[in-house]
Amino acid sequence: MTSKITYEDVEVGTELPVQTFSVTRATLVRYAGASGDFNPIHWNEKFAKEVGLPDVIAHGMFTMAEAIRVVTDWTGDPGAVVEYGVRFTKPVVVPNDDQGALIEVSGKVAAKLDDNTVRVDLTATSDGQKVLGMSRAVVRLG
C-alpha cells in the first residue's frame, strides 16, 4: 500500500514521475467514439493534409487528458485536481503505422498555495516539440 502524499511532505521543486503515453490511429478512433469528436483531421490523412496539417493529429482534449494523468497518478486521486488549464502549442502528429506517436509528460510542483493546495506545472512534448503550453494544475493534497 502506498502512502498518501501530504501538503506538508511536498516542497516547491518536487518532481513528479515522468510518463510516456502512446497514441495510435486506433487510439484516435476510440477517443472519437467516446468524445463524439469525429472531425476528419483526427482520422483522415487526405483531409488533414488538404487543410494544411502534416498528417492526422491527436485531439487536443485527448492530449490534455493524457498530460493530467501524471498528476492523478501521483496523487492517486483524480478528485484532488481542483483546477487545470493548458494552451495548445503544437499538434501531436500521429503517423499511420503500428508505433503511432509518443507524448512525454513531466511535472513539477511550482508553488505551495493556500488550503493545502499546490500548483503543478506540466511539460508535454511529442517528437521533440512542446505540445502544451501553460499547462498547470492546482491540486489539493491531504
Q: Is 48 a residue whose pLDDT tops 50?
A: yes
Cβ proximity of 66 and 104 under 8 Å: no
pTM of the model: 0.93
Cβ proximity of 8 and 79 under 8 Å: no
Per-residue pLDDT reduced to its tens digit, 19-31: 999 999 999 999 9
For residue 25, what are the contacts with CB-CB under 8 A and spacing of at least 6?
A: 43, 56, 94, 96, 100
Q: Is 3 a residue whose pLDDT tops 80?
A: no
Determine the residue type at 81: V
Per-residue pLDDT reduced to its tens digit, 57-116: 999 999 999 999 999 999 999 999 999 999 999 999 999 998 999 999 999 999 999 999
Domain architecture of the chain: domains with CATH: 9-23+59-140 (3.10.129.10)
Q: Is 2 a residue whose pLDDT tops 90?
A: no
What is the reported pLDDT for 22?
97
What is the reported pLDDT for 98?
87
Beta strand spans in 3-128 (E): 15-23, 81-88, 101-112, 117-126
Least confident of 5-9, 19-23, 50-54: 5-9
Cα angle 65, 70, 72; round to 5: 80
Higher pLDDT, 137 or 142: 137
Tell me the sheet residues that pair with 102: 22
Q: How many residues does the chain have?
A: 142
Are β-strands 81-88 and 117-126 bridged in parallel, bridged antiparallel, or unpaired?
A: unpaired
